[in-house]
Amino acid sequence: MRLGEMAERLGCRLEGDGERDVLGVGALEDAGPTDVTFVTDARHLPRLHASRAGAVILPDSLPADRPVLRTGNPYLTLARALAMFHPSEACPAGIHPTAVVSSDACVDPTAWVGPLCVVAPRAAIGARTVLDAQVFVGAEVWIGCDCRVFPQVTLRERTRLGDRVIVHSGAVIGADGFGYARDGARCVKIPQVGRVVLEDDVEIGANAAIDRATLGATRIGRGTKIDNLVQISHNVQVGEDTVIAGQSGIAGSSQVGSRVTFAAQVGVVDHVRIGDNVVVGGQAGVTKEIPPGSIVLGSPAVPHLEFKRQLAATARLPQLRKALRTLEERLRALEARLER
């Protein structure tokens, strides 16, 4: 592809020689003269100067030293450029002969059920959906169209996936929620008879665990992205276009709004509500309702300005103690003087 054509398809403004050939997209250190690279931040400009890349995707604010694809949103341009050079593999269709598919299951003829998958009775698998190898699809699971389920995923009975859902390897969708009643000292299991619903365009990371509801549904809203090793507990409701980074956990029945951002290793207690557009910092522990639009940090989580104030004050504690001792001495001197 020529650079000019690439600029046009990506909706970028071209600066420099549009006749140049482009064969791929590469990181700064790996890209060669036929590759496009990208820089999103001024601190990487020295690495750009050292790069052999033939062209670069740049935001409007950064100076260029070679042909440029100008964009207001370099990550989005990068996503599109990568998709251009790395189209999804052609989707195979059919059922691998080693898969164990119930005669009661309904698999669209354009879908693919890979080797050593298990598809239980009354499951339904939509058009062009790909189940990689060794996937488990429980009874009455419904999977929409154009989904990708990577190897060794478990979808427990009655889970629902919308369209274009991606589930990464090792994720377990629909395991029993962690619910017990005490009978004296003993724990009696509360049957978890609800389900999990993953709406359209949801993506779930490797080895994540999304538990089924006790009654009703645990729900992950449209377009929400969940990273590896995240736990979503029973009856949790997550809104749309929310992003939850790795190893975070949300306890039972909590509600998370739309367009919320969780950094990694966040914990949220049960039965709280987190408003829309909230940002929760890494390792924060949310213990109560968070109003929409807040930024919170710390464990227990507090508004970020308060957190920073507390952090600064804690760091100055030794000085504070010293100042107190100085005051005490001055006071003692005054007292002594007045005694005289």
Strand duo 302-303 + 279-280: pairing:
unpaired
Provide the minimum distance between the beta carbon of 285 and its own copies in the complex, in angstroms, as a whole number. 5
Strand duo 186-189 + 180-183: pairing:
antiparallel
Decide if 304 is catalytic: no
Q: How far apart are CA 62 and CA 60, in angstroms?
A: 6
> Which residue lies nearer to its own copies by CB, 77 or 255?
77
Q: How far apart are CA 264 and CA 226, in angstroms?
A: 11
Provide the minimum distance between the beta carbon of 17 and its own copies in the complex, in angstroms, as a whole number. 23
Among the options 44, 49, 168, 234, which is catalytic?
234
| Alpha helices (H) in 192-263, listed in sequence order | none
- CA neighbor of 270 nearest in space, from 299, 250, 300, 284: 250
> Which residue lies nearer to its own copies by CB, 19 or 94?
94
> Which residue lies nearer to its own copies by CB, 16 or 282?
282
- List the 237-238 sheet strands across, edge first: 106-107, 124-125, 142-143, 160-161, 195-198, 217-220, 237-238, 255-256, 273-274
> Which residue lies nearer to its own copies by CB, 23 or 313?
313
Q: How far apart are CA 208 and CA 88, in angstroms?
A: 24
> Which residue lies nearer to its own copies by CB, 17 or 53?
53
Residues ≥6 apart with Cβ < 8 Å to 162: 144, 197, 198, 199, 200, 201, 202, 222
| Number of CB atoms found within 10 A of residue 233's CB | 21
- CA neighbor of 294 nearest in space, from 310, 318, 274: 274
Provide the minimum distance between the beta carbon of 68 and its own copies in the complex, in angstroms, as a whole number. 18
Q: How far apart are CA 226 and CA 249, in angstroms?
A: 11
Provide the minimum distance between the beta carbon of 144 and its own copies in the complex, in angstroms, as a whole number. 17
> Which residue lies nearer to its own copies by CB, 17 or 191?
191
Provide the minimum distance between the beta carbon of 65 and its own copies in the complex, in angstroms, as a whole number. 20
Provide the minimum distance between the beta carbon of 79 and its own copies in the complex, in angstroms, as a whole number. 4
Q: How far apart are CA 210 and CA 250, in angstroms?
A: 10
Helix (H/G/I), strand (E/B), else coil: 126: coil
The residues annotated as belonging to the active site are: 234
